[in-house]
Homo-oligomer: A and B are copies of this chain.
Amino acid sequence: MKEMNNKIKLSTEPYKGVRDFYPEDMAVQNYIFDVMRKTVESFGYSEYGASVLEPSELYRAKSGEEIVNEQTYTFKDKGERSVSLRPEMTPTVARMIAGKLKSFSFPLRWYSIQNLFRYEKPQRGRVREHWQLNADIFGVKNLNAEVEIISIASKIMENFGFKESDYEIRINSRKIINYILNDLYKLTPEVSKKVTRLIDKKSKITKAEFEKGIKEFIPKGTNEFLEILNSKNFEEFFTQLKTNAGASEGIVEIKDLMEQLEDLGITNVVFAQDLMRGFDYYTGIVFEIFDKSPENNRAVFGGGRYDELLSIFGKEVVPSVGFGMGDVVIKDMLETYNLLPKIAPAAKLYLCVMDEKLVPYAQDLAQKTRGAGISTTLDYSGKKVGDQIKYADKNKIPFIICIGDLEKKTGKLKIKELSTGKETETTEDGISSIIK
């Protein structure tokens, strides 16, 4: 066996494009996850999970060989199976639902907070691994599902402390673009798909590139099509459409959805006819939360209806609506709006031990305070009191008790609150009422 020489220094850097979470980073991450979790649970959603390793076939079915090979982490295991690190959660949850379809009574309300991998160049807000909340409702055909899912998205934003004026909820329906492309412009399904993908990329390419692409796919009536796409609101869209818009199921849905959300007090919803939300599997309403701050001005997260995804498992259609909300972009937005809370310390009480021989007494006391629900840590070093207080302060531990011979003998303890310097004398039994 070839062993490396221990004298060779290993790098302390993580793998390229992934993040280490030191305790201060993890605390922020946990805060974000807690808000997500509490909100979706208040709507009665149950958590599920799955491995980050999935058979690559799961993604090939909907995305095609090239995308899987180029944009995901895909490799062969020793049994020559092709395995991927999941790039998104929806195929996994669809697989799980399909796998136990007969045992469920619908609707199902499920959520997960899991990591996803994409093979792309690391850049701001686009790391190779990120964490994402996914919340989905399965088995509801009508708009009530969209209303619930968008209400959850809106409530998460509220629970983070955002105001409705900070962001927009942009909505569209795949049915509208399908109606325009298939019924009005009579494009083939293949060309329709290409136009949809081009519109999805619109904000990432130049105006000239975009218009050139559209002209290629829609050589007749290009300008009218661009005007429809550029209309600024629902009314202008109607005018541009120059047709009986009532014929489009999608338009009726959009109107209904906006009304229902407004009835629930969600008033920052806008129609965005150029909103596509990437994935091919969307079949109806799509939506996204869009940050209006000039600093970010971008999509924060989104989702939509995907009624036919379970067909890849040869199963019946299960109407499904959901969204995915990544940790990286929302963290940026929370920082921009200065909404991240102060980090709570790991311990509430620090026992400053003035002599090593007092450690057993301090250990015993710590057992009692932990039992009383106070997270407690103690010193083993016999460092000077001043240095121990500095340590407690650096670790933001709010209360300290110094343990010396006198304290052990008399049982009289002084609790010091570091932020104020205030000292209170008490006994072992009195500690918890002072700290709580």
Contact = CB atoms under 8 A, between A and B. Distances in A.
Contacts of A375: 41-44
Interface string A64-77: 11110000010111
A48 B60 contact: no
A95 B10 contact: yes
Interface string A8-43: 111111111011111101110110000000000111
A340 interface: no
A377 B44 contact: yes
A2 interface: yes
B380 A51 contact: no
A336 interface: no
A75 B144 CA distance: 45
A395 B140 CA distance: 17
B99 A54 contact: no
A144 B417 CA distance: 26
A342 B225 CA distance: 58
A307 interface: no
B360 A10 contact: no
A20 B91 CA distance: 13
Tell me what chain A mostly uses at the interface: helix, strand, loop, or mixed: mixed
A124 interface: no
A423 to B, nearest CB: 21
A2 B227 CA distance: 34
Contacts of A14: 50-51, 54, 95
A147 B363 contact: yes
A287 B99 CA distance: 41
Contact of A15 (B51, B61, B263, B350): B51
A61 B96 contact: no
A74 to B, nearest CB: 9
Contact of A6 (B8, B98, B110, B312): B312
* Identical chains in the assembly: 2
Nearest to A380: B144
A43 B377 contact: yes
Contact of A52 (B52, B58, B119, B374): B52
A364 interface: yes
B95 A313 contact: no
A123 to B, nearest CB: 16
Contacts of A16: 79, 81
Given A119-B78, A145-B380, A264-B364, A48 B61 contact: no
Contact of A45 (B115, B346, B391): B346
Nearest to A110: B23
A346 B2 CA distance: 52
Contact of A140 (B4, B25, B380): B380
Contacts of A129: 51, 53
Most B Cβ at <10 Å: residue of A45, A46, A263: A46
B376 A66 contact: no
Interface string A372-408: 0111110011000000001100110100000000000
Nearest to A397: B44
B46 A23 contact: yes
13 contacts: A9-B314, A11-B55, A13-B99, A14-B50, A19-B50, A20-B48, A20-B51, A43-B375, A44-B350, A52-B115, A140-B381, A144-B359, A265-B367
Given A10-B312, A42-B375, A107-B380, 11 more contacts: A2-B64, A4-B61, A6-B61, A12-B98, A20-B96, A26-B46, A44-B346, A77-B119, A105-B395, A140-B380, A142-B380
The 8 closest A-B pairs by CB, nearest first: A44-B347, A44-B377, A12-B99, A9-B314, A18-B51, A23-B46, A21-B49, A75-B75
